[in-house]
Amino acid sequence: MGNSLRIADKSQLEEFLAQATARRLVYSAPYQDVFLIIKTVGLADSLELLRLTSKEQRCGFIDLDCWRKDSFHMPSFMEWLAAFIQCGPEETVRIARAVDPNLLSIFLKENILVHTLDPEEPFPDLPLIFTPDNRFGIEITGDVEGATMSRLLLDALFRFDPELGYDLIDRVYWENRVSLEEEAYQEKRRRLEEIGFVDYYEALEIYGEAQLTLSALPSKDVETKGTVTLSSTLPALFVASLAPGQYLWEALQTVQERKEADRISQGLAALANRILSVHSVTPGDLEKVRPALEEMRDMLSLGLEYLAQGQKGQAGEILQRNDIQGLFKIGFNLLSILHDQADRIFRQRKLRLDGVEETLLEFPEAEFFSGLRRLRPLFFEGFEDPEKATYRNFRSLADIEISKKILNQIGALSQGFWKVFEESVSQFSGEALRSANVSLRELRFSQIFNTAAVNSLSKGMFRPVILSGSDLQEFLKGISAKKPNRFQYAEQLISLARIHVEKLVKDLREKNVLLDFAEKWCNACTEELVPLIDEGKVDTRLIRTVMVRVR
């Protein structure tokens, strides 16, 4: 996979261009590889390299960089055109011959007006550029940059390739932009499909369902047919992101045959191109390319680890027996199972209140649950390190197992929580919380539960009735007389919570999960309220662990 030109900066490019074989090497390289070099070094510093590129490569540069899904991106096109114009009129004509004429026509349409001329009639009193046969008068209407580029382009064409010049003038005069862009898009799509850059919606198929079983490759005797050489740079960047010990790393170490290495490299390139299509990333945007390749790396490793059943020694054989995209689908489907489970829990409507999209979960469960419900699920790092609030890809079956455990806890919590209260979830509304310290969107399980616990200690009723400021003040005075420390007060709340949970929740799993959460909630309530016992007046707006009115 080390066939890329390996040029990462301007000095390396200059050294490469000094070689006698530079033109041959550039011509033989996949245009994606040359494109990545130009985007890495910079278009302005790559003019000498541009001179060495072929017609097919130049067309490929425009295909890769000048579209945003199905819309032509004029600013990017003008950057490329300006670069070739700087190389002189001959290179200007060469790029014009390489680019889809529909795109050049769109560019010219935005910068010129074409007037047909009758030799028997006076010419319009306008500043016109005349075609060699005086059939057309061209009025430059674009802004300074567009006007200058249009003049230079037309001058070069009518000097060196008048046939193409007349063709473009006819298109500008007769065709409308919509039809030009649609035809150009279809041609671009056809060309990019040959290297795996399929349409966005077709590329989404790599995230489709797949059976979590082995799928045999076609016979190795069947030659893969293709007219376009796939990039080796994308797989090289991809392999560079691997680390020893990963299943995919171990599998790649076992590849010995050149033919098999080529198949895997081409499979990785085609898969990478599809992922970039889904993410709407151009290959030259390396800041966005790398995260996409990391997603590919981690899904493939997941698929291999699953099929190898924990035996790294089996990974190489599995890699060589399976299609690359099939392995990716298996890895992603492991995450889809988690995603579907999270969605089922969410649809039960016990994790959230009516009219609110936010769940009643708190950190880190809320962030974890949100990460699983994404189109492409991510693992929340806060479970590994409470100091982190970021997401990453799932990297191993251990991540999957951790997530299953947490999801089961969230499901049990949502089922068991409401069994503790006589009132239903419908009692909480925006109107009821209008004067409270928390809004409907901010309300969490812990605040509901702690409010009920405080009411039980002060009034003998385990109900989540919003406290008034005076209720809270009296409650704090009452426990002040007993002078409990934080540990004793927490024990009171936890003991009281345990009594109600064990009495009303019969399912053992739900009961155990709810008790674990209740202990955490009660401890947090203690940490907040006990320091307020000796204060004269409490600012209820700052209270976060119980529901209390602020006016």
Query: Phi and psi of 474, rounded to 5°?
Result: -65, -40
Closest CA to 105 of 77, 144, 133: 77
CB 154 within 8 A of CB 138: yes
386-406 burial, b if ≥16 CB within 10 A, otherwise e? eeeeebebbbebebbebbeeb
Q: Which of 159-168, 264-273, 376-385, 463-472 has maximum average pLDDT?
A: 159-168
Q: Are 181 and 286 in contact (CB under 8 A)?
A: no
What does pLDDT average to over the chain? 87
CA distances (Å), origin 247, targets 88, 252, 302, 375: 51, 9, 8, 25
Residue 298: C-alpha distances to residues 243, 510, 527 (Å): 11, 33, 41
- What integer is the mean pLDDT of 27-54? 92
28-31: Cβ within 8 A, 24+ apart: 29/4, 29/5, 30/195, 30/228, 30/229, 30/230, 30/231, 30/232, 30/233, 31/56, 31/57, 31/59, 31/60, 31/61, 31/64
CB atoms within 10 A of CB 119: 8
Q: What is the pLDDT of residues 403-433, one digit of tens each?
A: 999 999 999 999 999 998 865 555 666 677 8
- List beta partners, residue 467: 548
Q: Which positions ≥6 away from 349 have C-beta within 8 Å? A: none
Tell me the average pLDDT across 532-542.
78
Confidence category of residue 461, pLDDT binned at 50, 70, 90: confident
Q: Is the dihedral of CA 11, 17, 19, 24 positive or negative?
A: positive
392 beta partners: 379
Average pLDDT over residues 12-37: 91
The phi, psi pair for 450, rounded to 5°, reads -65, -35
Residues above pLDDT 70, as percent of the chain: 91
Q: Residue 216: pLDDT above 60?
A: no
118: CB partners within 8 A, 6+ apart: none
pLDDT value at 220 more than 50:
no
- Tally of CB atoms within 10 A around 121: 7
The residues near 199 (Cβ < 8 Å, ≥ 6 apart) are: 189, 193, 277
A 10 A CB-CB count for 226 gives 11
Helix 508-529, helix 486-504: angle, nearest 10: 150
Alpha-carbon gap, residue 331 to 307, rounded angstroms: 10
Q: pLDDT confidence of 486, banded at 50, 70, 90?
A: low
* 258-260-263 Cα angle (round to 5): 110
- Interacting residues of 433 by C-beta distance below 8 A, sequence separation 6+: 439, 440, 443, 466, 547
pLDDT of residue 219: 44
Question: What pLDDT was estimated at residue 484?
Answer: 58
pTM of this structure: 0.77
pLDDT over 90 for what percent of the chain? 53
Which alpha helices (H) appear in 209-285, and where do they start and end?
233-240, 247-252, 258-278
Find the distance separating the first CA and the last CA of the chain, reported in whole Å. Answer: 69
- How many other CB atoms sit within 10 Å of the CB of residue 28? 12
Label residue 434 by pLDDT band (50, 70, 90): confident
What pLDDT band is residue 159 in, cutting at 50, 70 and 90? very high
Whether residue 201 has pLDDT greater than 60: yes
Q: From residue 241, give the alpha-carbon distance in Å to each of 237, 251, 423.
A: 7, 15, 54
| Sequence spans of domains, the chain | 54-193, 202-331, 348-551
Helices (H), 175-256: 177-193, 200-203, 233-240, 247-252
Tokens standing for residue 246: 């990963």
6 pLDDT above the threshold of 80: no
Q: Which residue did the predictor score with more confidence, 342 or 209?
A: 342
Is the separation of the CB atoms in 538 and 480 below 8 Å? no
Least confident of 171-185, 214-228, 325-339: 214-228
- Per-residue confidence (pLDDT) for residue 430, from 0 to 100: 65
C-alpha span between 230 and 331 (Å, rounded): 24
Q: Where are the alpha helices (DSSP H) in 286-387?
A: 286-308, 315-321, 324-347, 365-372
Query: d(Cα 532, Cα 545) in Å, to the nearest integer?
Result: 13
Distance of CA 464 to the CA centre of its chain: 41
